[in-house]
Amino acid sequence: MAAWELTRTGHRVLLLEAGREYDPVAETPMFQTAAEAPLRGVRTPDKPFGFYDATVDGGWEVPGEPYTTAPGTEFIWWRARMLGGRTNHWGRYSLRFSHHDFKGKTRDGLGADWPINYEDLAPWYDKTEQIVGVCGDNPGLDDIPDSSPGVLQPPPRARVYELLVQAACTKLGIPVAHMHRAILTRPLDTRQACFYATACGRGCSIGAAFQTTTSLLPQAEATGRLTTTTNALVTHLEADANGRINTLNWVDRQTGESHTLSAPRVILCASACETARILLNSRSASFPEGLANSSGHVGRNLMDSTGANITGYVPGLRARPRYNEDGHTGSHLFVPWWGHEAQTRGELDFARGYHYEISGGFGAPGLGIGRYARGWGEHLKEQVQDGYGSYIRLALRGEMLPSEHCYMDLDPNVKDQWGNAVPRFHWAWSEQELNQVRHGLEHGRQIFSLMGGEVIQADRSPEEAILKGGEIIHEVGTTRMGSSARESVTDSFGRTWDHPNLYIMDGGVFASNPHKNCTLTIMTLAMRNASRLASEISMGRA
């Protein structure tokens, strides 16, 4: 997004991509069936989201680029070593942060406020949603700020199992709304509308499911002002006596050859932990703690979304007529957070909210279709066939608070294949997150009960149910923005306090991690901040 905005406004950009070139048209296996894939397409250590997932040369582990965890820590770090990065395989849920989300500390005294308000970002959200192509509607809920009229594309119709969840939630006084998703339901520029046929995680060769390789990057290249170098892993930066970045060092991941270059301005958009790794590895006699780190906050305030899956069996859906229920393969409806007022009144034992993403129905069957069946022979076959489409999953995604126990630093002993210190992660869920998950498990059980269903593994504790740190792939906060150099790494426009020509435009700048997917806000901030930078360059101020 930063490259798109800068090239569009007349500036030349060199984009260094740590991963390989990726062609979303030639390399996207949109129509292959599971039967055509090794092991019927199931997940493997090399392909954690299944054989057809769009991520290439990446995952929880990247050969030659390890990371470590401190004793007692369970944290996993996802990297996509490919042009376009995670935008090729993300869930594409695109929910705006609300006024609650930007001023959490003001509301409950915990964490940190953002140095901006919702109103500062609202017009930029409109622009991003229009350029990206987000479908949804304006339900008038305080957890889902309205887009301006005409910005959102129409949402797809709700599915039967989603309507059943909605009916149960209505009885509990819990709202259900159309999910906002970066999926085209109408054509946009050169991209086609979704025809509801294949899983978005495979990538989308027609461009209906947003990824930068079918939209922002080709559009930036069309200006003639973008140069892209792939397999270019940045190792560290160097600064002069005045704090200006004067040298950028990178290594060719294919040949191992080292390179240096200089540029009047450097923008780090490497993702929160990768950007922090670069800054911490940029140590020198003048900057012994790394660059942009006079506050000591680089690598600190690491946050991910909380996650827990609540799966249930609903007999009322058993053996219903079969039909194509794919839709755009993600949630058409979801359950936004409904408890802001209860938290204000002090009625809950956790400060921040969560939502449920709904999945189920007649997706393409995989090997897991018989997971809950028992027995053998004809009886087993009947269970699998009749049970198809009768399971629903509520995926809880919640906000965690920044914690002194959750951060990354550099391992003093472990190096990557090029001799650079690797990240070491420290992690522990707090009572805030565990209480939040406990609340989510209980309300999930109530929802299934009202549907006449039963939760599988209903007796799990929050400690058993909560997913690992990093597993939701929403890590942010490691270079957070703020109002002063004492408490943050960048100002509200992503410029680092310590280095006048160094900017950060990824999720590292988040001051909190609301329960919504972070990609829409990362792109919106990048557009806003790159627009500001473009104007300053034109006026000779940057």
**Which amino acid belongs to residue 495?**
R
* Whole-number average pLDDT of the chain: 96
Report residue 358 CA to chain centroid gap: 17
Q: Is residue 171 part of a domain?
A: yes
In whole angstroms, what is the distance from residue 265 CA to residue 247 CA? 10
Other CB atoms within 10 A of residue 193 CB: 17
- Report the b/e string of 292-324 with b at 16+ CB within 10 A: bbbbebbbbbbbbbbbbbbbbbbeebeeeeeee
- pLDDT digit string (tens) for 157-187? 999 999 999 999 999 999 999 999 999 999 9
Mean pLDDT of 319-346: 95
Q: How confident is the model at residue 374 (pLDDT cuts 50, 70, 90)?
A: confident
Residue 267 has which token pair? 């923008």
- pLDDT digit string (tens) for 478-512? 999 999 999 999 999 999 999 999 999 999 999 99
Place of tokens 């009886």: 379
Domain count, the chain: 1
Q: Is residue 455 part of a domain?
A: yes
> Is the Cβ–Cβ distance between 512 and 505 less than 8 Å?
no
- Backbone phi, psi, residue 247, to 5°: -145, 135
> Is the Cβ–Cβ distance between 64 and 416 less than 8 Å?
yes
Q: Is residue 25 part of a domain?
A: no
Q: Is residue 109 part of a domain?
A: no
Q: What is the pLDDT of residue 364?
A: 80
In whole angstroms, what is the distance from residue 510 CA to residue 477 CA? 5
In whole angstroms, what is the distance from residue 258 CA to residue 235 CA? 9
Domain that holds residue 311: 137-178+306-398+430-465
Mean pLDDT of 368-385: 86
Whether the per-residue pLDDT at 330 is higher than 80: the answer is yes
Q: Is residue 174 part of a domain?
A: yes
Q: What is the pLDDT of residue 535?
A: 97
- pLDDT digit string (tens) for 61-98? 999 999 999 999 999 999 999 999 999 999 999 999 99
Cα within 13 Å of Cα(474), Cβ side? 27
CA dihedral 463, 464, 466, 469 (to 10 degrees): 80
Q: Is residue 454 part of a domain?
A: yes
Whole-model pTM: value is 0.97
Q: What is the pLDDT of residue 365?
A: 78
Q: Is residue 321 part of a domain?
A: yes
In whole angstroms, what is the distance from residue 490 CA to residue 496 CA? 4
Q: Is residue 366 part of a domain?
A: yes
Q: What is the pLDDT of residue 16?
A: 98
- Backbone phi, psi, residue 75, to 5°: -145, 135
